[in-house]
Structure 1
Amino acid sequence: MKRILTMLVLAAAALFAPAAMADISTFRSTMSGPSEVPPNPSPGYGVAEIVIDDVAHTMTMMIPFNDLLGGTTAAHIHCCVGTPLDPLGVAAPATETPTLSGFPLGVTSGVYNVTMNLLDPTTYSTAFLTANGGSAASAEAAFIAGILGNTAYLNIHTNLYPGGEIRGYLVNVAVIPEPSQWMMLSLGLFATGLAVRRARRK
């Protein structure tokens, strides 16, 4: 009986371990005017997805945004200050300045999609690079630590709100097992239950 239970625990651990030890982390930033510092009444919003691969040293950003009151002038990831639960404070841009390369400017709605090399010094603002060791590798470590620590936010600046019209902290997306993983676990539990039942009958 103990042997069967031990095997079940090990099987479950093996099933979920790859997700926990993944080298790819996904973050979401839900941006709005009320989330800015100071808050503003903009109806603008966006739900961005940021995927960091710390083995390939890449960051892929998908940033849709809509209904801004002003025309876009810049967008950055800022690091590192505050948290989603205590969002006071303004951090300098961690990513390139004056804006992310290729970000659509002068518009109120749009989509930005890019993959950046985290080991390229031009990915970071000069100030962030200098403040974090002067090399892309040290800047990457500080940048990822800031994001994992919930102290980085994404915002979009416009001509009406030069300090930022919409803003949202980067929050780690919880790893949810695939349906196939749940099915495998359920089958394993069922098979274990049958084995335990047969062992008791003997």
Structure 2
Amino acid sequence: MKFLYAMLTISLLAAPAAASPVWYSATLSGAAENPPNASPGTGTAMVGYDAATHMLKVKVSFSGLTGGTTASHIHCCTAAPMSGNAGVATEVPTFSGFPLGVTSGTYDEMFDLTLAASFNPAFVTAQGSVAAAEMALAAGLASGTAYLNIHTADHPTGEIRGFLTPASSNVPEPATLALIGAGLLGVWRLRRKAA
């Protein structure tokens, strides 16, 4: 019986190791820039970080910008969560393939964080290595001290931005919760029979 409990415990603890990316989301606006601006532009960003594969997924949708886009990237890490400014952590001057010269668009790309090309060289230098840069970016995402912004010709320091925070997609699906519940019920029944 102890073997059964040990195997169940191991399987429950091993499940997170095979977990999919942790997702972070942001609502982008001019009011979130520092200093704030009156841009009518809006946007959303979803960033998924997978520590096991060292991959970063970036999905952005934006519209209503006052000028054509000139750059977009993730900045990290501010001194306090959800406030301040920080240097660029990811590719400079912009994400590879980000739509430039437009006032609306979408973007969906994957980055290999084991490659120096996925980062701003100054960010890697400040951290000491590519691996340390990945860890710093991951920590910034987890702590709310990283933000994504979009720069335009009308707002060269940034027209819209948003701090990345844990997304609701990180909450287990109802089916997953039901499966966990069924497993716990089975363990409880086995313990009752053994008692």
Q: Same fold (TM over 0.5)?
A: yes
Q: Matched residues in 2 for 1:92 and 1:116: separation?
A: 19
What amino acid maps onto 1:49 in structure 2? M
Q: Matched residues in 1 for 2:30 and 2:163: separation?
A: 13
How far 1:185 sits from its partner (Å)? 5.3
Q: How many residues align?
A: 186
Distance 1:166 1:184, change over 3 A: same
Distance 1:190 1:120, change over 3 A: closer
User: 2:44 aligns to what SS in structure 1?
Assistant: strand
How far 1:183 sits from its partner (Å)? 3.4
Identity %: 45
TM-score calculated relative to the size of structure 1:
0.79
1:120 aligns with 2:111: no
Match of 1:155 in 2: 149
Deviation per residue, 1:21-71 (Å, 9 max, x gap): 836211112111100001111121111111111111110111111111111
Match of 1:83 in 2: 81
Unaligned runs of 5+ in 2: none
How far 1:189 sits from its partner (Å)? 7.8
User: 2:114 aligns to what SS in structure 1?
Assistant: coil
User: 1:29 aligns to what SS in structure 2?
Assistant: strand
User: Cα RMSD between the aligned structures?
Assistant: 2.8
Deviation per residue, 1:50-104 (Å, 9 max, x gap): 11111111101111111111110000100010312xx1x2111111111111110
Q: Matched residues in 1 for 2:39 and 2:69: separation?
A: 13
TM-score calculated relative to the size of structure 2:
0.82
Q: Matched residues in 1 for 2:25 and 2:10: separation?
A: 27
Q: Matched residues in 1 for 2:98 and 2:183: separation?
A: 48
Deviation per residue, 1:111-167 (Å, 9 max, x gap): 11110110110111121111010x211211111112112110000000111110000
For the pair shown, which has the larger CA radius of gyration, 1 or 2? 1
How far 1:177 sits from its partner (Å)? 2.1
User: 1:142 aligns to what SS in structure 2?
Assistant: helix
Unaligned runs of 5+ in 1: 1-6
Moved over 6 A (4+): 11-17, 188-193
